[in-house]
Structure 1
Amino acid sequence: MRSRELLDQLMAAINGAHDLESLARPLLSMLQQQSGAESVYVTLIDQESGVQRVLFSHNGRDTLIPEDIEVPWDQTLCKRALEEGLNRPVEVDTHWPDATLARSIGIKTYFSQPIYRGDRSPVGTLCAADRRVIDLPEATQRLMRMAALLLTREWEHERLLIQLQRENALLQNAALLDPLTLISNRRALMDDLTRVLDNARRLGAVVQLAFIDLDGFKDVNDRHGHAAGDEFLRLVAQRLQQGLRKGDGVARYGGDEFVVYGMCGGEHQDGARQAWQQRLEQLTRGTYALGEVSIDYPGASVGVSCSKPDDTALTLLKRADAHMYFVKTSRRNRSAAG
């Protein structure tokens, strides 16, 4: 292959690459043509599992090294070459006469270049193998070294991209979670409630929403300290989560206020609303172990509202909040009268 044609193929491979595979495959094709080796391939080294896997390969007329095969890392030529710092082609029979795995498939000529992580630890290899004793000119060896360097950079780029995507996902999730209770926060609530309302309109259903206020929470903080108050909020969140119906959502609206919501049928709304209110009151009622102290909590004030066709998340929340305030006032009046 002429130098100009080789350079054009190399530039086309680089410019057309958008991931490791789209870079590796044209490089392997070019290297196989240039070297004349039966097989040129890229491997992944998994030292924790003790295996080496062939990710991509390009073979001549007959397949010598297929893709997706796994071999024990300790038995590979790649491991031997890395440990020796070998940077040249070898005749396997003379250089490694005890390489039983390679000899079992007939490999006589072998050459590899490491592919590194950012910390310079090997993550894979670029290899050429043949069942004949062949000569790999210095120009071909240089080309393989260059290709290994390109694959190293792409491998590291993909690793950093995956890491960045994971970190962004964690940040996005963190932005939608209440850090104390680890349930949805108000921002997540507004987004999800809007989605649920839209779905309910399409399905001809309604959304039940309960606004929950923890009566007496200030007294818990004042009498037992903020650590006990925080634990109380966490435990309430856990009880609400455990008592959810399938498809329901729960969020901390702020302070000592929580919201539970979900779709339901449009019939018998009054009965369903009262049943849900009682169920949520019962979920919050009971004994709470708050570190060194425990409290018997009489239950939260719960206001429940059902959505109307033109409701937004905000209007539904306001109506449930107003109902919750009515329940809270009624409980306070009963307590004062008693």
Structure 2
Amino acid sequence: MSQDVTERKRAEKALVDKAMLDPLTGLPNRRALHDRLEQVIAAARQEGVPFSLFFLDLDGFKLANDTHGHEGGDEILKQVARRLGQAIRKDDFISRLAGDEFVIIASGVASEPICSRIAKSVCDAISVPFSLPDGPAKIGTSIGIALSSMIENLSAENIMARADAAMYTAKRKGRNNYQFASDSAELPHNVRPITLRKQED
């Protein structure tokens, strides 16, 4: 009986793990990002533990995907996931939000200089050409950074929206670079809503 219980718990855990992971890259998915954001926001409110959120969108990915095909695009995304893991601190959280968008949460990080070092490391890692069967592919990444200590009315939707808006500013300023989010300034009217509800994958 105890063996049956153990096997059932193991199977249940496997199902939960599968539901929280992106099947292509193996990174935590949107649902897992929602849970982690709720945790770090609670720690920021209750214990004063700061964090920083990095919103990444790959530059030139559509062209690379069109050039190298769907399989080539998938391989790039898998290599991006590996490079992100090597470029950031061991305890930082990485997730694939959707498509060619990724989010990094750096808990305990409260200063722009440290965020800049992390962002520069990520930009450098992604800018190295990717090896594919039919030839190399070169892309970049634009990053929007939002510090929890600089966001009024801190919530998952608010900090994500501000980091997203900063990412688009980085794209307008030349791509493969990073931009910090403004603090309490009004968001542009055209900022897209980003939902992180648990039922979404």
TM-score range, shorter chain: 0.7 to 0.9
**Distance in 2 (alpha carbons) for counterparts of 1:331 and 1:184:** 29
Deviation at residue 265 of structure 1 after TM alignment: 4.7
1:292 matched to 2:129? The reply is no
Query: Is contact 2:57-2:102 (8 Å) kept?
Result: yes
**Distance in 2 (alpha carbons) for counterparts of 1:271 and 1:160:** 52
Indicate which of 268, 282, 289 corresponds to 2:124.
282
Indicate which of 115, 122, 132 corresponds to 1:273.
115
Deviation at residue 287 of structure 1 after TM alignment: 1.7
For 2:163, the equivalent position in structure 1 comes to 320
**Distance in 2 (alpha carbons) for counterparts of 1:218 and 1:296:** 11
Query: Is contact 1:277-1:303 (8 Å) kept?
Result: no
1:246 matched to 2:87? The reply is no
Structure 2 residue matching 1:289: 3-state secondary structure: coil
Deviation at residue 309 of structure 1 after TM alignment: 6.2
For 2:33, the equivalent position in structure 1 comes to 189
**Distance in 2 (alpha carbons) for counterparts of 1:280 and 1:197:** 24
- The residue type paired with residue 331 of structure 1 is G
Deviation at residue 310 of structure 1 after TM alignment: 3.4
The count of corresponding residues between Structure 1 and Structure 2 is 173
Unaligned runs of 5+ in 2: 176-201
User: TM-score, with normalisation over the residues of structure 2?
Assistant: 0.80
Unaligned runs of 5+ in 1: 1-156, 333-338
Higher relative contact order (CA 8 A, sep 6+): 2
Alignment root-mean-square deviation, CA:
1.7
Question: Identity of aligned pairs, percent?
Answer: 37
Structure 1 residue matching 2:138: 3-state secondary structure: strand
**Distance in 1 (alpha carbons) for counterparts of 2:131 and 2:43:** 39
For 1:35, the equivalent position in structure 2 comes to none
CA change 1:265–1:217 in 2 (3 A) is closer
User: TM-score, with normalisation over the residues of structure 1?
Assistant: 0.49
CA change 1:263–1:188 in 2 (3 A) is same
